[in-house]
Amino acid sequence: MGLHHLNIFRSLAPRAQITAVADSYPPFAERGAAVSQAAKVFHDPLDCLRDADIDAAVVATADDTHHGIVEACIARGIYVLCEKPLTLSTEESLHLVKAERAGGRRLVQVGFMRRCDPDYRHLHDAARSGRVGQPILIRQRHHNPLAANNFDAAKLIASSAAHDIDLFRWLTGEEISVVGCAAKNSDDGSTVTVLITLTSESGILGVVDVGRGPAMRYDIGLDLVGSAGSLTLGSPSLTTQVVVDGVAAQRLPDTWIERFDGAYRAQDAAWLTAVANDSVDGPSTYDGYATNAVADAVLAALSTGGNQVVHQIPAGDLGSEHPR
């Protein structure tokens, strides 16, 4: 993901200048430097934040490093686009929400890039406009081939399902109040399926089917059922144009990076413009925190076998997101 973002921002020159790359694994750091030859190389992201001449940072590191790096960005007043999840725990994400708001500036955007995908934006705008009446049910599907990840049920909930949780909140404009969860592993452990149920504050229902296995292809989908109609993320949105033996054809993308390449590019370009205008307004630290809180409740539901209430501090109780 780091290299993917790096190539996107290279394409946005001269609006963006890449002055530093950092990776604790030296071959990756050197690879990044080779892509952007003017960049200074660091093997510690925190050293980079302390010593490099930068105005903004993109965090595409291992999930367990996000908290420390984003915290350092906030402390230095550096704008940051952080890949999801914001952190690995509700407590760490809440700490970042409070640190950012205490500083009086909106600095952080979380990389829920599906919000920038044209198909999802169309669903969002249609749903929020009232075109299908009152939303009743949102069904989501999120499958990965085994080659893409080998996550167990807990990791599928904490990492893969983060997008689906965020989309439910974004599409409904409501927080999630109650969740449920069940999982099934194949006997050989190669296939895992997790079913998550969500209920919003007003009672809108959600079902998320997330899984991975050798028989699965990369596949996402969404159906929104309303009181006056329904919306579907149709198959054409999942295909890409290719040429096979000189003949144009369509196929399903192999990975999320391929499927959402346009969304990543739109996200990064919009974030760059927002940084230049000192007006970052994409998915926030609170969105990251809310996703963590829901994931924690889902994990508890998986463990207990019963529904769980989401314990989440309301956004208004944490002070203004835009203090100035």
Determine the 3-state secondary structure of 189 from DSSP.
Answer: coil
Residue 171 CB neighbour total at 10 angstroms = 24
CATH classification of 115-258+292-304 is 3.10.50.40, yes or no?
Answer: no
Distance, in Å, from the CA atom of 108 to the CA atom of 123, rounded to the nearest integer, reads: 25
pLDDT for position 68: 97
List of residues 6+ apart from 261 with CB closer than 8 A: none
Decide if 181 contacts 197 (C-beta within 8 A). yes
pLDDT for position 245: 65
pLDDT for position 257: 85
Distance, in Å, from the CA atom of 66 to the CA atom of 64, rounded to the nearest integer, reads: 6
Residue 66 CB neighbour total at 10 angstroms = 25
pTM of the model: 0.92
DSSP structure string for 266-280: HHHHHHHHHHHTT--
DSSP state letter for 323 = -
pLDDT for position 146: 80
List of residues 6+ apart from 45 with CB closer than 8 A: 22, 23, 24, 59, 61, 65, 69, 72
Q: In the CATH scheme, what is the homologous superfamily, with its name and number, of domain 2-114+266-284? A: NAD(P)-binding Rossmann-like Domain (3.40.50.720)
DSSP state letter for 237 = G
Structure tokens at 223: 């159906």
pLDDT for position 324: 45
pLDDT along the chain (324 residues), means of 10: 93 93 91 86 94 95 96 97 96 98 96 96 94 96 85 93 97 97 96 97 98 93 96 62 62 79 97 96 97 98 97 92 56
Reported as type and span, the H/E element at residue 111 is: strand 108-111
Sorted by where each begins, the domain ranges of the chain are 2-114+266-284, 115-258+292-304
Decide if 220 contacts 208 (C-beta within 8 A). no
Instruction: Please name every residue paired with 226 in a beta bridge, in sequence order, or none if there are none.
Output: 135, 229
Distance, in Å, from the CA atom of 124 to the CA atom of 170, rounded to the nearest integer, reads: 8
